[in-house]
Every structure is written in C-alpha cells, then in structure tokens.
Structure 1
Amino acid sequence: MQRARKVLMAVAVLGAGAGVGSALFALVTPGELQKQEMLKEMPEQDPRRRDEAMRNQQLVMATLQEAATTQENVAWRKNWLVGGGRSA
C-alpha cells in the first residue's frame, strides 16, 4: 500500500510539473502578429543585405568551381578575387 502511494505521489508531482511547464510555454510563445513583426525586423529582409549575401554566395561558388577545375590550392591565395593560377 505504501509503495502504491509513493508511485501515485511521483506521478502526481511529475504531472503537475509537466502541466506547469506546458502552461508557461503557452504563455511565453509569441502570437502570430508578433511573429510577423519579428520577421519584418530580420536583417535578411533588407534588400542591401540580401544583395550582399547573394554576391558573397556567388564568390564562394565561383571559387569552388575554379578549385574543382584546377590543380592549384586556391585556399592559399592571398587575394581570392584574383583567379587564373597566380597569387597576388
């Protein structure tokens, strides 16, 4: 009987903890309007930032393509914008 009481008490405590945790999570989670406002403020929404990220991605892809077609170790270049097998 005492063992059953301990088990029920443990289940009740764990259930109460899970209930409190779920309630706190529901209170803290932002609503749909707040999510949309947060998305508007993200740096990826700025056109200049997007253009800069796209240019950076193009440079990385061009470097990877060149590295795949040459025997030169392009990682040792001092200026990655200069291609054609010469170090600047």
Structure 2
Amino acid sequence: MGALQKAQVVVAALGAGAGVGYALFALVTPAEQQKQAMLKEMPEQHPQHRDEAAHTHRLVMVTLQEAAATQENVAWRKNWTRGGGAV
C-alpha cells in the first residue's frame, strides 16, 4: 500500500503544479484587444520600416547574386556600397 499511496501523492503534486502553471499562464496572457493594440504598435507595421527592410533585402540579394557570379571573396570588401573590383 505504501507504493500506491506514494504514487498518488506524486500524481497529486504534479497535477497541482500543472494547475498552478496553467493559472499563472492564463493570468499573464494578454486579452485579444491588448494583442491587437500590440500588433498595431509593432515597427513592422509602419510603412517606412517596411520600405527600409525591403531596400535592405534588395541590397543583400544583389550582393549575393554578385558573389555567386564572381570568384572574388566579397566578404573582405571594405566598401560594401560599390560593386566589383578589388579591395
């Protein structure tokens, strides 16, 4: 009977811990209105930030295409704004 009682205590303790964890998670999770407000305030939602990110992405893609087309190690360039040629 000792092993059965010990197992019940362990199961009860684990269940209580899971219940407390779930309750704390439910308390700190924001409501739907708060989620929507947070999403509106994110920098990715601003047109200027999106344009800058798109421009940066285009520059990276051009650099990758150029690196694929040449034998030069473009990682050693000191000036990334110009293309081709030696350092």
Residue by residue, what CA displacement relative to the aligned partner does 1:62-83 show, whole Å, maximum 9, x if unpaired? 0000000011111111111111
Paired residues for 1:20-31 under 5 Å: 20-31=20-31
Paired residues for 1:1-88 under 5 Å: 1-87=1-87
TM-score by length of structure 1 reads: 0.91
Separation of aligned partners in 2, 1:21 and 1:14: 10
TM-score by length of structure 2 reads: 0.92
Root mean square deviation, CA, Å: 1.1
Aligned length: 87
Q: Which moved more, 1:33-42 or 1:76-85?
A: 76-85
- Structure 2 unaligned residues grouped into runs of 5+: none
Hey, which bits of structure 1, 4+ residues long, moved more than 4 A?
none
Residue by residue, what CA displacement relative to the aligned partner does 1:16-44 show, whole Å, maximum 9, x if unpaired? 11111111111111111111100011111
